[in-house]
Structure 1
Amino acid sequence: MHMFEAVVVRKHKSNYPNPVSFVAGDALLVGERDSEYLGWVRVTDKRGDVGWAPLKYIELNGDGTGGVAIKFYSAKELDVEPGERLTVKYEHCQWCWVEHETKGAGWVPIECLENA
């Protein structure tokens, strides 16, 4: 997906003050699949932080309760307000990795955005 500019149409505030993150090779505990946003799975990282991650970033073990990260990931979400302008870097399973001019980068649900 190519980058594009978007405007926030609905407020988003993260519920995860300690976002899960991992790098390739990290061992992860794997929990339930997200029923609202398909393609996401609850994981516990090596620090013990729990959050949602893209299932395609994890090579699952035989029983699916654990796995190994195959690429870098951060679950950092961005708190945004209506009217703010963002650059969408990429979209994954109804969430967008965005950059804000002063707030930095993070995930925002796609339903909070519209093309600018």
Structure 2
Amino acid sequence: MGATKYVVIQDHTSEYPEPITFAKGAPLSVGEEYKGPESWDNWLFCETPGQKGGWVPAQIIEIVNDKTARAREDYTAKELDVRVGDLLVGSKILNGWVWCKRSDGPEAGWVPLANLQEARQ
């Protein structure tokens, strides 16, 4: 998928200062599925040894049994704090969130798609 340019239309600040981060193949304990008013489907609360738990897209994990899974790819739940008017470049959309990089620097993270509008070229 190609990169898409976005402008932030609503501020977003992460509520998770220590995001879960793991490499492909990491063992995961799977908990609840996210339920909320935003229609962010397919997010599972997962834990991996030595870290606080966090929300993980169901598409990137392989369920081994009822509550155990393995990571299909590298992942971080890092969210990007953004303000109205910020310019971002999005590279991946998953379950209502976009992996974005700032257009003016190296900082990257997830931003809710609802907070973004495609920028006119």
Range of TM-score over shorter length: over 0.9
Equivalence for 2:118: 115
> Are 1:46 and 2:62 counterparts?
no
Give the letter aligned to residue 21 of structure 2: S
TM-score (norm 2): 0.90
Equivalenced residues, count: 115
- Select 1:58's aligned residue among 53, 61, 75: 61
Provide Cα deviations, 1:36-90, integer angstroms capped at 9, x if missing partner: 3111110112223111011111111221x11111110010000000000000111
Taking structure 1 as the reference length, what is the TM-score of the superposition?
0.93
The letter of the residue matching 1:85 is L
Structure 2 spans left out of the alignment, 5+ residues = none
CA distance in 2, matches of 1:83, 1:56: 31
Larger deviation, residues 71-80 vs 46-55: 46-55
Distance 1:14 1:103, change over 3 A: farther
Amino acid at match of 1:51: G
Listed as ranges, the matches of 1:1-116 within 5 Å are 1-36=1-36, 37-63=40-66, 65-100=67-102, 101-102=104-105, 104-116=107-119
What is the SS of the residue equivalent to 1:29?
strand
- The alignment-based identity, stated in percent, is 35
Q: Hey, which bits of structure 1, 4+ residues long, moved more than 6 A?
A: none
Consecutive unaligned residues in structure 1, runs of 5 or more: none
